[in-house]
A and B are shown apart, each in its own frame.
Chain A
Amino acid sequence: MPVLKTDTLPIRTDGDVVLVRQAVRNLAVELKFGLVDQTKIVTAASELARNTLDYGGGGSVRLEVIEDGLKRGLRLTFEDTGPGIADIQQAMKDGFTSGKGMGLGLGGAKRLTHEFSIHSEVGVGTRVMVTRWK
């Protein structure tokens, strides 16, 4: 799948989470996402960036503008080298939290995007990839 644009941002502080939200918003505007679609992908990014920071101990996000035939989308890949998730099914459930949130992060991000994948290994880290198409 052709990648038209790519950028990587660090997620080390809660200030970085704000910068990730702004960068995702800018790309969504560039892609001419409608207001609701913009808000959905930015909210998903906020949830996942916070997960990376709080549970993964920090990491990074890769932002990509991708093209599939005639449609364009925004793909976000969050990576950390934290403790990993032992039970992904449980972590995906609403209400499950090991930290300060509402436990809506992973499940919520999945509902707010079109494609969602997660790969995690205990002791190695976690990678979450989401895509929202225009």
Chain B
Amino acid sequence: MDHIPILQMGRFLLVSIQVDMHDRQAMTLQDDLTDRIAKTGARGVLIDISALELVDSFIGRIIGTIAAMARVLDAETVVVGMRPAVAITLVELGMELPGIRTALNVERGMTLLTVATGETGREAADAGVED
């Protein structure tokens, strides 16, 4: 089964979901991400869903769980790039992703993470992160 790649940038982890995930793949991403947060001491997680044509209640729940687990591990999560049609559908579905930070695009998401964590990906990268 294909894992969704997780990139590290300084103290942040970046995930861009580019495929129509099946349920097991989504659950694997949840496990992989929490594992990586714990291993790297990442302070922020950015999840780019701009390629997703659909977020149903299952994917929504996975995103919520990732954010909650990250918070427990002292990391902030921001979800970026949701398509307008997906946003409209999610709200109608009854899922408003409570407690999850969102940003319109990657750039704004990074700014949000930087402010929320007091870290910048770059400085931490220069200093070298202890894995």
Contact = CB atoms under 8 A, between A and B. Distances in A.
B54 A46 contact: yes
B58 A101 contact: yes
Given A21-B54, A46-B56, A112 B85 contact: no
Contact of A104 (B21, B85, B88, B93): B93
Q: How large is the interface on A (under 10, 10 to 19, 20 to 34, 35 or more residues)?
A: 20 to 34
Contacts of B88: 36, 39-40
Interface string B11-44: 0000000001111100000000000000000000
Contact of B85 (A14, A35, A105): A35
Interface in A1-34: 14-15, 17-18, 21-22, 25
A91 to B, nearest CB: 14
B123 interface: no
Contacts of B55: 43
Contacts of B53: 25, 39, 42
A22 B22 CA distance: 12
Interface residues of B, number: 23
Contact of A112 (B22, B60, B84, B89): B89
B34 to A, nearest CB: 17
Contacts of A38: 85
B94 A107 contact: yes
Interface in A51-82: none
Given A94-B94, A102-B61, A108-B93, A43 B54 contact: yes
Most B CB contacts (10 A, CB to CB) among A15, A40, A102 go to: A102
Instruction: In the A-B complex, list the 8 residue pairs whose CB atoms are closest, starting with the nearest.
Output: A108-B93, A39-B85, A14-B23, A102-B57, A104-B57, A46-B56, A14-B22, A35-B85
Given A42-B54, A100-B61, A104-B93, 13 more contacts: A15-B22, A17-B22, A17-B23, A18-B21, A21-B20, A43-B55, A47-B57, A50-B23, A50-B56, A104-B94, A111-B93, A111-B94, A112-B92
